[in-house]
A and B are shown apart, each in its own frame.
Chain A
Amino acid sequence: MAFKRVVVTGLGAITPIGNTVEEFWHGLSNGVSGAAIITKFDASKFRTKFACEVKNFDVTQFIPRQDARKMDLFTQYAMVAADEAVKDSGLDLEQINKNKAGVIWGSGIGGLKTFEEEVINFASGDGTPKFNPFFIPKMIADSASGQISIKYGFRGPNYITVSACASTNNAIIDAFNYIRLGRVQVCISGGSEAAITQAGIGGFNGLRAMSERNDDPATGSRPYDKDRDGFVLGDGGAALILEEYEHAIARGAKIYCEIVGGGMSSDAYHITAPHPEGFGAFLSMQDALEDANMKPEEVDYINTHGTSTPLGDPQEIKAIEQLFGEHTYQMSISSTKSMTGHLLGAAGAVESVAAVLAIQHQMVPPTINLFNIDETIDPRIDLTPNVAKSKKIDVVLSNCFGFGGHNATLIFKKI
């Protein structure tokens, strides 16, 4: 059986550097940092006092207040991103076969704030359990895909994938596969996260994984810089409408690009540290290229996982050099986390949208805050320092790696 082709026909984004796709691209192409002192709670006693929050978000502009209050913030972001993507796709919701329409979402954690609030409320009482009836349905991570399907009446496959910071790449790979197999015609995919909470910041601080550059938040996320000191946590989400090619053509849809490959692997090494030689990253990218039936030389741009941690960044570069050989020095590489921060399970969502927009605009978004490149990184590598670059881009590869050793890679191709 021949695989069907899968295309991207709609985009939505709510990110620390823009609350719509247009604003997001404006931020990406202009090298804007989304980092600032945390406003969601008083972080003065925390090791890290800054993050990449979504700004000026008023949920009632999108969702009636009585509905919104039954959703954790990560689900609200999911609804807003999905809404923009569905509108952008021009899908006629009365015409499509909703039994063949799915929602496959990604989130690394789910309703962390909801969980935190309920437990704090319980712990501060006299031990009498007074848990809100909406606690569980708000907190569970699959509520995002559930709520989206309820809104649009999509009755096809519906679930979320959880693989920490690789979550959304896994979600998109699953959606891609179901459409390739002819099981689904349209799928809302993407991911969202809202982990900038006391427990989120405190927990990642406990791991010593986050930047503590409190005196200069905007330069905290600095992948590949020799003075990088950890990632910067980000909130938000993004959605992509994935559609079977002939289905999209038949309705005259605007087509952004094609998804041609998905690769997956596991480090099978350590629960938080990446494999020091980047072996899992290598396998994931190799698997994606094989899936796409492509040679390494065909890739024009890699949107790296590049979180700005001392351990993570070099191992991914090693894996790229090992797989791409001399071509490593011909293509462009950048980490858009330098601008957005690290959206954990939603990283693959915003970075997939960034990859699609890079193809659309034929422009590589930069790695900002590159003051002094890590000396262990070969200077011939084009890390797209600080300024976006116009470039002929036919193929983009996007990596996501997660705690647990999960690696997932997507390949997008100009159509």
Chain B
Amino acid sequence: MSAIASKVTKIIVEKLGVDESEVTPEASFTNDLGADSLDTVELIMEFEKEFNVSIPDDQAENIQTVGQAITYLEENSK
């Protein structure tokens, strides 16, 4: 697991209170990990803070799964 993937997993475990084993690349925040819309907003904010990036709303809408978050952050974080 890349350093980014590992940090993303840690944030998701922390915020959603799920088990690390559930945080697979295919896992959807809302469908698989029990997040509601506010949880998803909070996750995006945590990613922005942790990786020092600004994720525009239209991009954030496309981040629905763990894998999509990791890919986006790998491509955009400094």
Contacts and interface: CB of A to CB of B under 8 A. Distances in A.
Interface of A: 64-67, 130, 132-134, 137
A132 B42 contact: yes
B36 to A, nearest CB: 10
B35 to A, nearest CB: 10
* A contact face: mostly helix, strand, loop, or mixed: loop
Contacts of A67: 17
Question: Lowest 10 A-B CB distances belong to which pairs?
Answer: A66-B17, A133-B38, A133-B41, A133-B42, A65-B17, A64-B17, A66-B16, A132-B42, A134-B38, A130-B45
Given A67-B17, A132-B45, A134-B38, 8 more contacts: A64-B17, A66-B15, A66-B16, A130-B48, A130-B49, A132-B42, A133-B45, A137-B38
Contacts of A137: 38
Interface in B36-69: 38, 41-42, 45, 48-49
A375 to B, nearest CB: 58
18 contacts: A64-B17, A65-B17, A66-B15, A66-B16, A66-B17, A67-B17, A130-B45, A130-B48, A130-B49, A132-B42, A132-B45, A133-B38, A133-B41, A133-B42, A133-B45, A134-B38, A134-B42, A137-B38
Contacts of A65: 17
Contacts of B16: 66
A9 B48 CA distance: 50
Contacts of B15: 66
Interface residues of B, number: 9
Nearest to B48: A130
Interface in B1-57: 15-17, 38, 41-42, 45, 48-49
Contacts of B17: 64-67
B27 to A, nearest CB: 16
By CB atoms of chain A within 10 A, which of B17, B41, B48 has the most?
B17
A132 B15 CA distance: 12
Nearest to B44: A133
Contacts of B41: 133
A134 B16 CA distance: 13
Contacts of A64: 17
A130 B48 CA distance: 10
Nearest to B38: A133
A115 B38 CA distance: 18
Nearest to A64: B17
Contacts of A134: 38, 42
Contacts of B45: 130, 132-133
A53 to B, nearest CB: 26
Nearest to B17: A66
A133 B35 CA distance: 13
A19 to B, nearest CB: 24
A132 B42 CA distance: 6
A132 B40 CA distance: 11
A104 B19 CA distance: 36
A137 B39 CA distance: 12
A133 B15 CA distance: 13
B4 to A, nearest CB: 21
B33 to A, nearest CB: 11
A130 B44 CA distance: 11
A64 B34 CA distance: 14
Nearest to A67: B17
A132 B49 CA distance: 12
A70 to B, nearest CB: 8
A44 to B, nearest CB: 30
Nearest to B43: A133
